Amino acid sequence: MTRLPESPEEITFFECPSCRRHYAQRPGRPLTYRWLHPISLALYCILFNREPLSAAPFVAEELMRGCSRDASLKMIEEIELELQRPTQNVREILDNPQSEEECREFLQAVVTYIRAQDD
């Protein structure tokens, strides 16, 4: 991992030299995807939602809005990769109040909704 120079004192940003994904780490916290990763964008939409599954269709529509089909598919592929091969607790990206299981169920529902629209 390469430390990025734009890192402020309260958080350190990294880039993986192999995959070019960006990560963030706060002192004493685990490494997570950085803001603007597709997972962070989806989870941001449910920060204050007590029933995140009900928001999945709306969030999926918002993520697709203004994106090309290729960009939407790339976002979904990134989310699916984490769902299929977990690398982190996704709720910690933004400190979501929902459980890890609820966050992952929500992300799967978003992916399922977008895939259904693509058929």
pTM of the model: 0.90
Examine the domain organization and report whether 28 and 59 are in the same domain.
no
Percent of the residues in the chain that have a pLDDT greater than 90, as a whole number = 77
Examine the domain organization and report whether 52 and 29 are in the same domain.
no
**What's the mean pLDDT in 49-55?**
92
User: pLDDT category, 66, cuts 50, 70, 90?
Assistant: confident
Examine the domain organization and report whether 26 and 7 are in the same domain.
yes
Range of the domain at 13: 1-34
Q: Which pLDDT value is given to residue 119?
A: 65
Examine the domain organization and report whether 46 and 95 are in the same domain.
yes
Examine the domain organization and report whether 107 and 52 are in the same domain.
yes
Residues 6+ positions from 96 with CB-CB distance below 8 Å = 43, 46, 47, 90, 103
Examine the domain organization and report whether 23 and 69 are in the same domain.
no
Contact between residue 100 and residue 50 where contact means Cβ atoms under 8 Å apart:
no
- The b-or-e profile of 92-103 (16+ CB within 10 A means b, else e) is bbbebebeeebb
**What's the mean pLDDT in 63-85?**
91
Examine the domain organization and report whether 24 and 66 are in the same domain.
no
**What's the mean pLDDT in 30-39?**
93
Task: Write out the two tokens for 42.
Answer: 């989806």
Tens of pLDDT along 78-115? 999 999 999 999 999 999 999 999 999 999 999 999 99
**How many structural domains are present in the chain?**
2
Examine the domain organization and report whether 85 and 112 are in the same domain.
yes
Examine the domain organization and report whether 105 and 75 are in the same domain.
yes
User: pLDDT category, 24, cuts 50, 70, 90?
Assistant: very high
Reduced to 3 states, what is the DSSP secondary structure of residue 65?
A: coil
| pLDDT, the chain, mean | 92
- CA contacts within 13 A on the Cβ side of 29: 20
**What's the mean pLDDT in 24-43?**
94
Q: Which pLDDT value is given to residue 58?
A: 94
Examine the domain organization and report whether 45 and 91 are in the same domain.
yes
Examine the domain organization and report whether 51 and 86 are in the same domain.
yes
Contact between residue 100 and residue 90 where contact means Cβ atoms under 8 Å apart:
yes
Examine the domain organization and report whether 28 and 53 are in the same domain.
no
Contact between residue 93 and residue 32 where contact means Cβ atoms under 8 Å apart:
yes
